[in-house]
Amino acid sequence: MNRIESPAASTANLQLRQVGKPLVRTDSPTKVYGTAVYAGDLTMPGMLCAAVLHSDRASALLRHVDTSRAEALAGVHCVLTAADLPPSQGVMTDMPGQTGGLTKNTKQPILAKDRVRFCGEPIALVAAENAAIAEQALRLIDIEYEDLDGIYDPFDALAPGAPIIFGDDNVVASYKVRKGDIEKGFAEADFIVENTFTTQYQEQAFLEPEAALAWVDEHEVLNIRSSTQVVEHYRAVADAIGLPHNRVRLRAEFVGGGFGGKEVMTIEVWLALLALASRRPVQLVQPRERSFLSHGPRHPFTMTHRTGVSGDGKITALQIKLTSDAGAYAKLSPYILLYATVGATGPYRVDNLHIDSVSAATNNLPACAFRGFGTMQANLACEGQMEEIAKLLGMDSMEVRRRNFIHTGDANVTGQIIRSAVWSDQCATQALATLGERPTDTQTTRIGHGVACYQQSYGRIRWMKDSSEAWVGVEMDGTVIVRSAVTDIGAGQSSALAQITGEILGVPMDQVVVYFGDGAVTPLAGTSTASRALYMSGNATKMAASQVRKNLLSCVAGYFGVKIEQLDMCDSQVFIIDDPQRSIALKDCVKLCAAEGVHRHNLAIFRAPTSEGIDPETGQGEVFPDFTYGAHAAQVAVDIETGEVKVLKSIGAHDVGQAINLRAVEGQVEGSALMGQGFALCEELILKQGRLQTGSLSEYLIPTSEDVPEIKAIVLESRSGLGPFGAKGIGEPVYAPVAASIANAVADAIGVHIFELPITPEKVIKALREKESTK
Amino acid sequence: MLPPFELLEPHSLDQALKMLATSESVPLAGGTNLLPDLRARGEAGGRFISLAALDQLHGIEHSDSRVLMGARTTLSDILHDPLMPTAAPSLVSMAKVFAGSMVRNAATVAGNICYGSPSADVVPPLLSLDAELTLASAAGERTLSLNDFLLDYKKTARRPDELLISVSWAPPTTGTANLFYKLGRRRGDAITVVGVAVTITIEKGNCTKARIALGSVAPTVFRAQEAEEALVGGPLTATTIGTAAQAAAQASRPIDDIRASADYRRHAVHMLVRRLLTEAWQTAGSQHD
Amino acid sequence: MTDKETQMITEKRVDIQVNGQACEITVPAWRTLLEVLRELGHKEVKCGCEKGDCGACAVLLDGKVVDSCLTLAWNAAGRSVTTVQGLGGPDNPHPLQTAFIEHGSAQCGYCTPGMIMAAKALLDDIPEPSLKDIKRGLSGNLCRCTGYTRIFSAIQAAAETLRQQETTS
Ligand SMILES: Cc1cc2nc3c(=O)[nH]c(=O)nc-3n(C[C@H](O)[C@H](O)[C@H](O)COP(=O)(O)OP(=O)(O)OC[C@H]3O[C@@H](n4cnc5c(N)ncnc54)[C@H](O)[C@@H]3O)c2cc1C
Ligand code: FES
Ligand code: FES
């Protein structure tokens, strides 16, 4: 096995001047002054407005689609249906920007042809002079459906004889993990605990619905400016419509929230087709109701844990079954299932293990990527089970966790050895301690404390062979430019690169400009997904900046007649460490380099560790670069009469490796605390026979300011991660334990576990009644 | 995007009433119900009469015996009125949990009442205060009780040519408690799952008047009159309160929807009525000590 | 009813002051203030739902905060509108803007323009808001990124700054 060289090692003694500090993010002012530009804000002369017709049947044959009345409407420029599409007839929805192998059936029709498989499937596109005409045109498209039987439950879909949604069967993906000797493990167990946990659909509900603008420019290049997490989609757009890759340019604007929902291609390919057909710039901004249909929500999971434990709380055997509802197309379901499988044992070491996981196709909304990517669902079951085990054994649940925590050097589910720090215990202990004393119960409220730990990967699956490029250069006046096609989806992705570069080159952050998100002119950085942006692009940027630093210092070393190691850079000066009076301004240093023909810029590529996949029979192999560990604790008050749950405190404690921008890290923890609370308590996409019942923001309820508990972020730094300065990925990890901690707190408060999310007042009352009746 | 419609903008009440009388049209107040509905419908058509310029419909007047609230009073106006906390405590509690500040600035009392929704939050407090409505048409004015105004799901006693011009009620006397609670699926800006308003008047240790108004648990907001009757005449005890709460739950005719089941709603009515009555008994009783 | 009254008026000239600038537009009755502002180039007014659920479109109308998506442009005639750009900019930041920047209250930033306008209205109304007041004042402004905590702290800080400005001026 390859030993992974931690990039942290090389900079272990570097004195950090900017990294880790809560500096003002470079993107803050423009957002606060209202000058930041989002894709829907762009306009061009002659721009048309697009609109999309989504199916209102979940499972039906498309007998006839007649667009003639729409086309005849004044102001309509083009109407496209499947009949007008290029022969490829599909768009790749596999891992975006990926260069490795593809999984089966991940090509999805751009527009439904002959058949619709889910309620909301796109059928036709319109481009018109303005939005009103485009909307009117949609109403003039006549569709004749012939309803087919649909399947709306993954277990029905897997039953023999079920109608096939797509492909050869309804199994979108499945995994097996076989480790140790499970029979022996169960034989050694003093107790066996079995429970089934279920989770619901969760909608990303980013505040900015999908938006993009596309046009063909004077060089016959198809340009798309979009709200996307992935500029590498330009390749998928090009492939889908039969253009060479170098004729599609995709630029990502500031993204008004992504959370995975703008990871797989959403509207870009539609706009590309309309721009080509109309030869005009075309913009689409999805109304909220159609936004709900345009990406893919979090997969509902059913998760059964059968755990053998010894009397002292050690897990001796664990058998896990995971079933997810993929909906009507595969999208990223196979990968999400893999994440769930690897995350199924949480941050615990289990030597005797069976996991069987399957993702089934149904006629529901196709589910896709969402912060946590399967891991958080799997983790919820795992952490709920910990509580149930502890209850059975009469032990403190933290004690049970301690008996089983995975440690650095242990093998995880897939046999991968964990090399970075595992500070689960420290994090959980601190988070719980920060909850403080319990307020006393009243006649009608019960207070509960809950904690949950997790293990969440950062960085892509190893066989994606991930890499990121970044360019750093110093201008003649000493200002600095970073070029990276990283997308900025709100977590401070571009700002972090400025901070890292500022650190390395000793320039204030506001002297660094980051050009980001342009698939044509900034070096490709890969996606802002999988908690990889900082890890990958941070490393690439740091490598590039370090090389520039080296070049600059070598010139200055010659100038002063000292060694490079005797020099440092700070406040746009290069100085001799032991004699700081002897210094030279960065801009003069740049001139020196220029005169000597030394590169003042560098293009670097960072490669993540790779592997060739897992053994299909045992599930063993290296899947991820590394993992983040931490914990979340919650204090809740449950009204035992109405079943209402109020979260009082919500504390996240995470080993982030190294915070690059402390404030940004805390912001991630705080945001995920509330998003996780929504998942635990009030968010739920309800589908009835495949039809969405909660398709707007008055029915789909995300937490408001009135729902905010006391939130705290505790940031621990082991500096053991694979990211720059030892950072670990945090965007998804900090979210992973939140819902579980709240579910556990509710169980603690009322004495019964609710196995089905979300924990509505109604379910609380039901659980309390059942508890009463079994007394 | 809103579909095309016609908007008339009268400058006086008379003009507005004339328009209503002679053309098929619908009053438009804050638009917070009408505009989302129009957008959802998406079809062109309809004629609306803007009430924006009708100053006669603005303002809240307090006298010792009566509070008179113009129909265009917004939810924010209720929150900003310094006398409202004593004139209608339940209405103030309600306004605090009604929508968010932007909608509170636009949404009017009349719009809330006239829309006739079972989840209209303004209605339970006003019902619990025995509010009366004054409606005007080109033919004249009439006054009727809010209770009589609400007929069925989105059905009220308003004739198409009528405008609601004001709402009035007698402010609570000493010894009266007037409470409201909204149960929603989240704490801020949510459609009510169960709304309860109660008014209890205590004189010499006995309950002399009881009002229990329930939202979101029947086709309209309604008063649980049997439950009210169970309370009047004596002190409120755990038993009488329990009986009344039970009766209120039984009087409810809720439905299953995306927010909650009928069963749960009935349960919540029981619990919340019991809770609010208990609290009301304590506060109203303490006003006399 | 006279002919004149029943005749359908489809378009109307509307004068609106936007951030102190007089604007004159001719629009039909069904056009919302949100659409008009964005057509006028005020892209800082965001759209997240078009029906009052999210607050991204919040602006001040004669000093009161409204959802511009639920306000007809006709109803804004003769009135003044303030957007986040009218509140201040890099050269003359409003204390709320300074505080939002310093507290890291914007992540994706899409909710921010509306959020700041709701906060402005809140501080105009309650200069020393409690945390409870702040939560109530913002409950119509959704934010999916921040968990609101840094928005709360920024508003508290801005309130403090404004209070100090008040006492020193
Ligand atoms: C985001 C959001 C949140 C909301 N939250 C809540 C909430 O928490 N609780 C709640 O109860 N409601 C809520 N609502 C619904 C709505 O805001 C209220 O019902 C509001 O009071 C309606 O008043 P309006 O002035 O906006 O009515 P409009 O939409 O203008 O009109 C509503 C109806 O009343 C009629 N009407 C209006 N004025 C008169 C009059 N003077 N005479 C006769 N008829 C009249 C209209 O013709 C129409 O049928 C919410 C709405 C939104 C968009
Ligand atoms: S766009 Fe106006 S409230 Fe959402
Ligand atoms: S910062 Fe993204 S929605 Fe608030």
Token pair for C150:
């840094």
Residue A473 phi, psi dihedral angles, 5° rounding: -145, 155
A703 CA to middle of ligand 1, Å? Answer: 23
Domain boundary among C86, C121, C153: C86
Residues spanned by the domain of C11: 3-86
Shared domain for C16 and C50, answered yes or no, is yes
Asked if residue B111 is part of any domain, the answer here is yes
Q: Is there a single domain that holds both residue C115 and residue C156?
A: yes
Q: Does residue A270 contact residue A78 with C-beta atoms inside 8 Å?
A: no
Q: Is residue B193 part of a domain?
A: yes
Verify whether ligand 1 is closer than 6 Å to residue B114 (CB atom): yes
3-state helix/strand/coil string of A368-407: CCCCCCCHHHHHHHHHHHHHHHHHHHCCCHHHHHHHHECC
Q: State mean pLDDT over B250-266.
A: 97
Query: Domain check: are B220 and B151 in the same one?
Result: no
Contact B82, B172 (CB under 8 A): no
- Are residues B149 and B222 both part of a single domain? no
Q: Which residues of C touch B102 (CB under 8 A)?
A: 52, 55, 58, 65-67, 70, 118, 140
B126 in a structural domain: no
Largest pairwise CA distance in chain A = 87
Going by their DSSP bridges, the two strands A512-516 and A480-484 should be labelled as parallel
Question: What's the CA gap between A269 and A647, in Å, rounded?
Answer: 42
Residues B10, B87 within the same domain: yes
Sign of the dihedral through C-alpha C28, C30, C36, C39: negative
> Which CATH number goes with the domain that contains C58?
3.10.20.30
Judgement on whether residues C73 and C7 belong to the same structural domain of the protein:
yes
B44 plus B137 within the same structural domain: yes
C81 and C37 housed in the same domain: yes
How many separate domains does chain C show? 2
Judged by a CB distance cut-off of 8 A, whether residue A694 touches chain C is no
Q: Residue A576: what residue type?
A: I
Cβ–Cβ < 8 Å for B265, B194: yes
The model's confidence at residue C131, banded by pLDDT at 50, 70 and 90, is: very high
Looking at residue A2, its pLDDT comes to: 36
Residues C73 and C49 in one domain: yes
Residues of B in contact with C121 (CB under 8 A): 101
> Which residue in B has a C-alpha nearest to residue A640's C-alpha?
B271
Q: How far apart are the first and last CA of chain B?
A: 58
> In this structure, are B151 and B219 located in the same domain?
no
Q: Identify the CA nearest to C87 among candidates C98, C103, C74, C72.
A: C98
Among A464, A530, A454, A465, residue whose Cα is nearest residue A493:
A530
Contact between C65 and B101 (Cβ < 8 Å) = yes
Low-confidence ranges of chain A (pLDDT < 70): 1-14, 97-101
Full strand arrangement of the beta sheet holding B206-215: B176-184, B192-203, B206-215, B222-223
CATH number of residue C103's parent domain: 1.10.150.120
Report the domain count for chain B.
Answer: 2
State the Cα–Cα distance between residues A390 and C17, nearest whole angstrom: 65
Nearest ligand 1 atom to alpha carbon B109: 21
The nearest alpha carbon in chain C to A704 belongs to C139
Asked whether residue C81 falls in the same domain as residue C16, the answer is: yes
Q: Are residues B199 and B220 in the same domain?
A: yes
Chain A positions touching C101 (Cβ under 8 A) are 24, 28-29, 32
Quick one: C47 and C111 in the same domain? Answer: no
Contact flag A704-B258 (C-beta cutoff 8 Å): no
Same domain, B276 and B193: yes
Ligand 1 nearest-atom number relative to CA B75? 21
pLDDT in tens, A441-489: 999 999 999 999 999 999 999 999 999 999 999 999 999 999 999 999 9
Helix (H, G, I), strand (E, B) or coil at A652: strand
Pocket flag, ligand 1, residue C15 (CB < 6 Å): no
My answer on whether B100 and B157 are in the same domain is: yes
Task: Give the rounded distance of the alpha carbon of A666 from its chain centre.
Answer: 17
Q: Is A674 on the interface with C (CB under 8 A)?
A: yes
What single-letter amino acid sits at B117? S
Per-residue pLDDT reduced to its tens digit, C4-37:
444 556 899 999 999 999 999 999 999 999 999 9
| C162 and C105, same domain (yes or no) | yes
Cα(C137) to ligand 2 centroid in Å equals 16
Kindly give the number of the ligand 2 atom that is closest to the alpha carbon of C52. Answer: 3
CA distance A49 to chain C (A): 13
> Are residue C73 and residue C91 in the same domain, yes or no?
no
Of the residues C86, C115, C132, which one is the last residue of a structural domain?
C86
Angle of CA points A733, A734, A737, to nearest 5°:
85
Residues C60 and C94 in one domain: no
Kindly state whether residues B183 and B165 are assigned to the same domain. no
Q: Which contacts of A389-395 are long-range, i.e. CB under 8 A and separated by 24 or more positions?
A: A389/A191, A389/A193, A389/A307, A389/A309, A389/A313, A389/A315, A390/A313, A392/A191, A392/A193, A392/A309, A393/A191, A393/A309, A393/A311, A393/A313, A395/A313
Is residue B50 included in any domain, yes or no? yes
The rounded mean pLDDT for chain B is 96
The two structure tokens encoding residue B71: 């129909």
In a domain, B123, yes or no: no
**Residue listed under structure tokens 């590529």:** A605
Neighbours of chain A (3+ CB pairs under 8 A): B, C
User: Looking at the predicted structure, is the pLDDT value of residue C99 above 90?
Assistant: yes
∠A428-A432-A436 over CA atoms, to 5°? 160
Q: Does C77 lie in the same domain as C7?
A: yes
Instruction: Output the DSSP codes for A516-585.
Output: E-BTTTSPP---S-TT-IIIIIHHHHHHHHHHHHHHHHHHHHHHHT--GGGEEEETTEEEETTEEEEEEE
**pLDDT at residue number A13:** 47
Of C53, C86, C119, the position where a domain reaches its end is C86
Structural domain that includes position B85: 6-117+131-169
C144 lines ligand 3 (CB under 6 A): yes
Residue B84 inside a domain? The answer is yes
Which ligand 3 atom minimizes the distance to the CA of C151?
4
Which residues from A are below 8 Å from C110, CB to CB?
38, 206-208, 256-257, 490
Q: Kindly list the distances between the CA atom of residue C51 and the CA atoms of A564, B31, B32, B248, C71, in Å, as whole numbers in the listed order.
A: 62, 10, 8, 34, 10
Question: Average of pLDDT values for B107-119?
Answer: 98
- With 0.95 as the threshold, say if the pTM is over it: yes
CATH number at residue B234: 3.30.390.50
Residue B122 falls inside a structural domain: no
Whether B188 sits inside 8 A of A706 (CB atoms) is yes
Residues B153 and B229 in one domain: no
**Nearest Cα residue to A167 out of A89, A106, A91:** A106
Coil/strand/helix, residue A252: strand
**Which residue, among A120, A69, A108, has the nearest Cα to A363 in the 3D structure?**
A120
CA of B21: how far to CAs of B144, C7, C8, in Å?
A: 20, 16, 17
- Residue C139 tokens read as 């409950």
Q: Are residues C45 and C101 both part of a single domain?
A: no
Same domain, B163 and B22: yes
Scanning A140-181, the segments in alpha helix (DSSP H) are 154-158
CB contact under 8 A, C52 and B32: yes
Residue-level pLDDT at A470: 98
How far apart are alpha carbons B237 and B229 in whole angstroms?
A: 14
Chain A positions touching C104 (Cβ under 8 A) are: 22, 24-25, 28, 663-664, 666-667
**Residue at B93 is within a domain:** yes
Cis peptide before A209 (omega within 30 of 0): no
Domains of chain A, start order? 467-607 (3.30.365.10)
Percent over 90 (pLDDT), chain B: 96
Determine which residue's CA is closest to atom 4 belonging to ligand 3: C143
Q: What is the CATH number of the domain that holds B25?
A: 3.30.465.10
Which chains reach chain C with 3 or more Cβ–Cβ distances below 8 angstroms?
A, B
Are B186 and B163 members of one domain?
Answer: no
